[in-house]
Structure 1
Amino acid sequence: MVAARKRGGGMDWAMAGLEPAAFWAALAVTLFAGFVKGAVGFAMPLIMVSAFSAFLPPEMAVAGLILPTLVTNLFQATRQGLAAAWGSVKTYRRFLIGTVVFILISAPFLTVIPRVAYLLVLGVPVTAFAAAQLMGVPLALPLRHRARAEWGLGIVGGLFGGVSGIWGPPLLVYLLSIKAEKAEMVRVQGVVFLIGAVALLAAHLRTGVADGASLGFSAALVMPAMAGMMLGYRVQDRLDQARFRRWTQGLLVLTGLNLVRQAVM
């Protein structure tokens, strides 16, 4: 685990008392997570939290992903222009409201709710849904239920986002269900994740999880996150709609299985 100790030098603000090995491991994980995000538009917080849990305390793991998530999603949301981003805000406003409100509600319970509980409750249904999609089982939401589904999945995403920093899977479930095309999927993810990241930062400034030390560490992860995302964009731009959808489904299965693995172990 992590040992905190005093040390001199100009990197103290970023290392937040972490051992050098833990700090450099966090940078490497973030670089890879940024690459995956650039390629498929999501999974950066999932990868970071999953890997960080092996060598960081839960509070530091959640705090560390806040600023990289905020900055990378700002770029992702506006890659096709501010007008397109604002259009996504209006179209998916119900999901956004549900997510933001319930991130603020659930964040104070970060240190109260057993980690195994939310990992299982999120991981099992996400794995089942994505696996069914890969096998060709039609699970699309009827159009008459879209508004209800947006509210419901937005609330679920917010509840998990406040306590884990992860609110992407419910959004992916919704976008796959309505068969959103690649550019829209990536842009909407950027918009929802950006606004969610602002809410998460605000919530954890209140809880104390995000303080001067942990935000210094989080700031140090921004550059590797951005470098990885720029590399990932090269992969994304080469993927056609069908392959992009299957990559997304496959990664969602792995994500869900990893959440379950963490819970049972």
Structure 2
Amino acid sequence: MEFLFGDLTATQLGLAVAVVLFAGFVKGAVGFAMPLIMVSAFSAFLPADVALAGLILPTLFTNLSQAFRQGWAPAVQTARDYRRFLIGTVVFILLSAQLFWLIPRMGYLLMLGVPVTAFAGAQLLGLPLALKLEHRARAEWILGVIGGLYGGISGIWGPPLLVYLLSTNVPKVQAVRAQGVVFLIGAIALLAAHLGTGLMQGPRLWFSALLVPAAMAGMWAGYRVQDRLDQARFRRWTQGLLVLSGLNLIRQAFWD
């Protein structure tokens, strides 16, 4: 056990599996929020480096499923449609990943907690988050870069994409697929970056691999919810969960 997972205890491993199972379920139902839930929960009982490593492989595999759920052709077309966002995200994930070891725990948690709470809280209150995109190509580049800067450090680059999708009134199925494609390519870049930084080596790599089956099981259960239940109602509950997750990150920054 120690050879594979280092200093992690059986209790920590069990809690991590439970968190990922739930996070996968939410992602299957609404298409996003998995890394946010994982980081928020993991930060309560895991070191920051282990928490980030833990989300990388589950994120990669669940986004592979989400991106190609309607087949290869729609996924490839979506990648072409969002190519500017993808390029900005990937390039800046690779750059910002090099800074992970320089960010103190308090700064790392606040960088995540404050924007996540603000974004989800605004959605929950019904405030309009759509931007007036007079120059769509420029908006794709800017939001992609922002997502990449956050992604390399935290493993989370979803909120800028969600704002963009809201702003362009993308239909539900296309929006969920777009999230899967962008998150998948970003996850590949994140894995490559942290193979280079040394984060994804040894016990941290094995820990991340351990969580993949739970993530996939949760996601397939979530798909059943996405297909059958009122999406708007479940999304509202998810927004509330994201607010709690963001507030938990802020609490940990100051009091843990």
Q: State the distance in 1 between where 2:96 and 2:144 align.
A: 13
The answer to which of 163-172 and 190-199 deviates more is: 163-172
1:65-86 per-residue CA deviation (whole Å, 9 max, x = no partner) reads: 1111111100000001111111
Secondary structure at the aligned position of 1:144 is classed as: coil
Aligned residue type for 1:105: L
Q: State the distance in 2 between where 1:56 and 1:245 align.
A: 28
Q: 1:217 aligns with which of 207, 211, 227?
A: 207
Aligned residue type for 2:131: L
1:72 equivalenced with 2:56 (yes/no):
no
How many residues were matched structurally? 255
Q: 2:188 aligns with which of 173, 192, 198?
A: 198
Which ranges of structure 1 fall in alignment gaps of 5 or more residues? 1-5
TM-score (norm. length: structure 1): 0.87
Match of 2:168 in 1: 178
Tell me by how many angstroms 1:249 deviates: 4.4
Q: State the distance in 2 between where 1:146 and 1:239 align.
A: 32
Correspondence 1:114-153 to 2 at 5 A:
114-153=104-143
TM-score (norm. length: structure 2): 0.90
Contact 1:181 1:241 in 2 (8 A): no
Tell me by how many angstroms 1:255 deviates: 4.3
Match of 2:222 in 1: 232
Q: State the distance in 2 between where 1:217 and 1:151 align.
A: 34
Secondary structure at the aligned position of 1:179 is classed as: coil
Contact 2:133 2:139 in 1 (8 A): no
Secondary structure at the aligned position of 1:237 is classed as: helix
Tell me by how many angstroms 1:56 deviates: 1.5
Q: State the distance in 1 between where 2:222 and 2:254 align.
A: 31
Q: 1:37 aligns with which of 11, 27, 39?
A: 27
Q: State the distance in 2 between where 1:63 and 1:255 align.
A: 19
Q: State the distance in 2 between where 1:174 and 1:152 align.
A: 10
Distance 1:146 1:122, change over 3 A: farther
Distance 1:32 1:17, change over 3 A: same
Contact 1:161 1:167 in 2 (8 A): yes
Percent identity between the two aligned chains: 71
Q: State the distance in 2 between where 1:96 and 1:115 align.
A: 28
Match of 1:158 in 2: 148
RMSD: 2.1
Q: State the distance in 2 between where 1:36 and 1:148 align.
A: 31
Distance 1:33 1:198, change over 3 A: same
Which ranges of structure 2 fall in alignment gaps of 5 or more residues? none
Tell me by how many angstroms 1:247 deviates: 4.8
Contact 2:25 2:221 in 1 (8 A): yes
Distance 1:66 1:121, change over 3 A: closer
Match of 1:107 in 2: 97
Distance 1:133 1:33, change over 3 A: closer
Tell me by how many angstroms 1:118 deviates: 4.4
